[in-house]
Chain A
């Protein structure tokens, strides 16, 4: 067995990645992990780092679809040049996080396990045939992520298993393989890194094994993903956690802050309008914000929401109390921070409550009690959101109601088109 060791420095700790150098057969995964564990212990002792601790609080299963597997390598291509490389690069790429580009799954999971120890099982589905000579439709690689705190405490290690399934046949093996590799008696979290499909047998099977499923409605600008997650919520109930929803938390706090002073909450009964401006990618965020406010006020799903055709914008009219108030969306290009919302305005009781982007990291808050021209909006990176989703309670009734109204908005839009 070959062992590759790779160090990464972080502000308060170092991450040591120990990888078994070769692909292994599925039935050898556990024994390879044991071997790797032994090698890691020896490595630790040689480096004078002391004892190792294997830590697991979760089985953390991630799923995503990679690019098409490349055609078989010809001749003497030096790197294997096969799908092995593609799969491994995709799974293990640890590049920086920038702008709109989601963090590569390998890097994301490393960062998550730095906070929440877990056995990580990463499922990568590649289209196309397996590389020649592999002899099976699912390929496995194993590794350990070991964290060394700068404070001098012992190394804490988590196991990582990367499974690559080739084509539909490879994908169909995932549930059974997963059953064999899950650590018994530990909860299972499924981190779905793709867009949530409307109907998927694989998703259904994986969900059936999971105690918690993490999705991200902001992963796409396609509003139908809200409907798909809403469907999942109906079937799976409280075990769904939406990273997109968690990303909206700072914005929701700012909006809620407006209505804490005495007398302000009553103003919400006199809602006069909501206007939201987002980037194209932020449309789902905007819909969730609208869904949240409307659902908290008992409006939305059962009320008459009437879509109004606009010029490039989305508009609904909603009957509320004695009047009809508008719900306006405008979409413009640009980067609106991690939540992709440029402006949120709520008009109620004759006052305007507004949060507006100053730049991608700062917002201006303006309301009758608060005028803050520039405050930092602390937004969480994806790994922090996953940690929060695993660390907190799964059932979120507020989310379920907000999603219900947001999905209803999408449905009314679809009916009108």
Chain B
């Protein structure tokens, strides 16, 4: 233990190790992973003698790969341009290995390279594998890593693996993937990454709910009317039409990101901040979701697909006109769900969730809509009137947690308009990360990669979490598959979705908030 390290913010410096990225020639490495490592190096959060090895099919030399990664950091890092003093230290610690994932010989070459690096840099054989590849090749990589003796279940030196989404495409495949991973790793060695959990506002949900005494007492069915979670994207396919055809927005956004937000809003207080204590509560919440019977699915789930339209001043094509998309596709680009939770806290409180492409703007937020005051002293709704000496303008209180952009929290309440009448106008109390804290929040990948290096799995998804969410989502897919002959509702690009979706909140005399 280095006594001089204590008290320095970067006390959380991980042990020396080598990170090995499979699929390193892909966009994720250049756009996210290396810029995150660069930022960590800049903040002095990487361990001494850390090294990274990129593994992919493309032919690169070490030097070419370094140049490529440097260009990526220059373009995508949150601190641009790259500082030479930082890169001169990090650059030489980046290596590349050209390899076919099905070639056992390649894994022996990888082993030799790792041993060479570890010997040269005096690094113990701590290894962090990052699978930035399609899940279909995971079994192949796992098998070959095992045969080459590159995987150990030992606590020290340690081996960990970060797995990128998608974690399967339905319950069965998720279970299969978990089985494959757990044949060679302990669960504690597996880090299933969902970058939403690396966002500062998402992490703040735990603080907001459980570090403040004022919210938890009203965080229940007695005070909350309903909850809305929206993830809207103004973009369309951006060249990912082929992938999206297979996935759809329910798999791409809801099963992972939005269900994580849902858990953080709805879970019970954990017994501690220990990673398993938090994840236990998330799983309990997911298991409390009321299953939707197939015959009632239409009352709970609405999907849609965008048509040509106008978004942010641009004319954009419809989904079926996007490259890589079937002209008769029924893949959903919009989905809205009405969820009910069978537990004491949330009994009868609906959670309305929607995720979509080609919305008017990019926004992800959570809105908690509170019940109105029990006695109607003030007339609800409407604009100011003040006729017959009455009062008007009562609006529900809304707490909005904005995930992106402009991360922050706002509280919407009614206030008397100055003047002789008792007219009420809605006003906002706002907290914004951008204006309240001078410190720039780290990118999600920075936080998550650092946590995996440190062995902290709190912000990663456990096997039973993935399976519990697939358990619910797969039923919807099965129902869609069974009813694929029906027309999918449509909406013009640049609108807030198909008209059919209005029926979901209308069941509670509510409407979607235009985020």
**Which residues of A approach B to under 8 Å, CB–CB?**
53, 55, 57, 114-117, 149, 153, 156, 249, 252-253, 255-257, 259-262, 264-265, 268, 292-293, 296-297, 362, 369-370, 372, 374-376, 387, 391-392, 396-399
- Subset of 30 A-B contacts with CB under 8 Å: A53-B430, A114-B438, A115-B438, A115-B439, A116-B436, A117-B435, A153-B406, A153-B434, A253-B44, A255-B4, A256-B2, A256-B5, A256-B8, A259-B2, A259-B3, A259-B4, A259-B5, A260-B16, A260-B48, A265-B3, A292-B4, A296-B4, A297-B3, A369-B49, A376-B83, A376-B85, A376-B86, A391-B437, A391-B438, A398-B7
* B326 interface residue (CB < 8 Å to A): no
Report B-chain residues with C-beta under 8 Å of the C-beta of A262: 16, 122, 124
Report B-chain residues with C-beta under 8 Å of the C-beta of A255: 4
A375 CA to B84 CA, complexed, in Å: 9
Report A-chain residues with C-beta under 8 Å of the C-beta of B3: 259, 265, 268, 296-297
A387 CA to B3 CA, complexed, in Å: 27
CB < 8 Å neighbour of B438 from A116, A265, A297? A116
Q: Are A391 and B439 in contact (CB under 8 A)?
A: yes
- Give B402-445 as 1s and 0s: 1 = Cβ < 8 Å from A's Cβ atoms: 00001000000000000000000000001000111111000000
Report B-chain residues with C-beta under 8 Å of the C-beta of A252: 4, 8
A398 CA to B11 CA, complexed, in Å: 12
- Nearest chain B CB to A72 CB, angstrom units: 42
Q: Are B44 and A397 in contact (CB under 8 A)?
A: no
**Most central of A156, A253, A256, A293 by chain B CB within 10 Å:** A256
- Nearest chain A CB to B125 CB, angstrom units: 12
Q: Are A293 and B4 in contact (CB under 8 A)?
A: yes
* B89 interface residue (CB < 8 Å to A): yes
CB < 8 Å neighbour of A369 from B2, B9, B48, B406? B48
CB < 8 Å neighbour of A117 from B7, B9, B124, B436? B436
- Nearest chain B CB to A40 CB, angstrom units: 16
A255 CA to B124 CA, complexed, in Å: 22
Closest B-chain residue to A297, C-beta based?
Answer: B3
Closest A-chain residue to B10, C-beta based?
Answer: A253
Q: Are A260 and B2 in contact (CB under 8 A)?
A: yes
- Nearest chain A CB to B131 CB, angstrom units: 28
Report A-chain residues with C-beta under 8 Å of the C-beta of B8: 249, 252-253, 256
Report A-chain residues with C-beta under 8 Å of the C-beta of B434: 149, 153
Q: How many A-B residue pairs have CB under 8 A?
A: 85
Given contacts A252-B8, A296-B3, contact A156 B435 (CB under 8 A): yes
- Nearest chain B CB to A78 CB, angstrom units: 40
* B6 interface residue (CB < 8 Å to A): yes
CB < 8 Å neighbour of A296 from B6, B85, B86? B6
Q: Are B48 and A261 in contact (CB under 8 A)?
A: yes
Q: Which of B21-50 contact A (CB under 8 A)?
A: 44, 47-49
* B214 interface residue (CB < 8 Å to A): no
Q: Are A268 and B435 in contact (CB under 8 A)?
A: no
* B13 interface residue (CB < 8 Å to A): yes
- Nearest chain B CB to A12 CB, angstrom units: 11
A369 CA to B83 CA, complexed, in Å: 23
Top 3 A-B pairs, shortest CB-CB distance: A115-B438, A398-B7, A376-B85
Report B-chain residues with C-beta under 8 Å of the C-beta of A396: 7
- Nearest chain B CB to A269 CB, angstrom units: 10
* B1 interface residue (CB < 8 Å to A): yes
- Nearest chain A CB to B405 CB, angstrom units: 9
CB < 8 Å neighbour of B2 from A149, A156, A265, A398? A265
Q: Are A398 and B438 in contact (CB under 8 A)?
A: no
Q: Which of B292-318 contact A (CB under 8 A)?
A: none
Q: Are B49 and A53 in contact (CB under 8 A)?
A: no
Closest B-chain residue to A373, C-beta based?
Answer: B88
A260 CA to B10 CA, complexed, in Å: 12
Closest B-chain residue to A398, C-beta based?
Answer: B7
Given contacts A372-B89, A397-B7, A398-B7, contact A261 B435 (CB under 8 A): no
Closest B-chain residue to A252, C-beta based?
Answer: B8
- Nearest chain A CB to B120 CB, angstrom units: 12
Closest A-chain residue to B49, C-beta based?
Answer: A261
Q: Are A399 and B7 in contact (CB under 8 A)?
A: yes
Report A-chain residues with C-beta under 8 Å of the C-beta of B47: 260
- Nearest chain A CB to B87 CB, angstrom units: 11
- Nearest chain A CB to B288 CB, angstrom units: 37
CB < 8 Å neighbour of A55 from B7, B49, B435? B435
**Most central of B3, B89, B124 by chain A CB within 10 Å:** B3
A115 CA to B2 CA, complexed, in Å: 33
A285 CA to B9 CA, complexed, in Å: 19
Closest A-chain residue to B48, C-beta based?
Answer: A260
Report A-chain residues with C-beta under 8 Å of the C-beta of B406: 153
Closest A-chain residue to B16, C-beta based?
Answer: A261
A292 CA to B85 CA, complexed, in Å: 26
Report A-chain residues with C-beta under 8 Å of the C-beta of B88: 375
A393 CA to B173 CA, complexed, in Å: 46
- Give B99-125 as 1s and 0s: 1 = Cβ < 8 Å from A's Cβ atoms: 000000000000000000000001010
Report B-chain residues with C-beta under 8 Å of the C-beta of A296: 3-4, 6
- Nearest chain B CB to A274 CB, angstrom units: 12
A75 CA to B322 CA, complexed, in Å: 80
Report B-chain residues with C-beta under 8 Å of the C-beta of A369: 48-49, 122
A392 CA to B49 CA, complexed, in Å: 29
Report B-chain residues with C-beta under 8 Å of the C-beta of A292: 4
Report B-chain residues with C-beta under 8 Å of the C-beta of A268: 3-4
Report B-chain residues with C-beta under 8 Å of the C-beta of A391: 437-439
Q: Which of B49-83 contact A (CB under 8 A)?
A: 49, 83
- Nearest chain A CB to B91 CB, angstrom units: 13
A398 CA to B439 CA, complexed, in Å: 23
Report B-chain residues with C-beta under 8 Å of the C-beta of A249: 8-9
- Nearest chain A CB to B310 CB, angstrom units: 21
Q: Are A261 and B122 in contact (CB under 8 A)?
A: yes
Report B-chain residues with C-beta under 8 Å of the C-beta of A387: 438-439
Report B-chain residues with C-beta under 8 Å of the C-beta of A259: 2-5
Q: Are A264 and B7 in contact (CB under 8 A)?
A: no
Closest A-chain residue to B11, C-beta based?
Answer: A256
A392 CA to B122 CA, complexed, in Å: 35
Q: Are A264 and B2 in contact (CB under 8 A)?
A: yes
Closest B-chain residue to A396, C-beta based?
Answer: B7
Report A-chain residues with C-beta under 8 Å of the C-beta of B86: 376
- Nearest chain B CB to A345 CB, angstrom units: 15
Q: Beyond the given A57-B436, A261-B48, A268-B4, could you list 13 further A-B residue pairs with CB under 8 A, ordered by the A residue number?
A: A55-B436, A117-B435, A117-B436, A149-B434, A252-B4, A259-B4, A262-B16, A265-B1, A268-B3, A375-B85, A376-B86, A387-B439, A397-B7
Report A-chain residues with C-beta under 8 Å of the C-beta of B44: 253, 257
Closest B-chain residue to A400, C-beta based?
Answer: B7
A68 CA to B406 CA, complexed, in Å: 47
Report B-chain residues with C-beta under 8 Å of the C-beta of A297: 3
- Give B239-281 as 1s and 0s: 1 = Cβ < 8 Å from A's Cβ atoms: 0000000000000000000000000000000000000000000
Report A-chain residues with C-beta under 8 Å of the C-beta of B439: 115, 387, 391
Report B-chain residues with C-beta under 8 Å of the C-beta of A117: 435-436
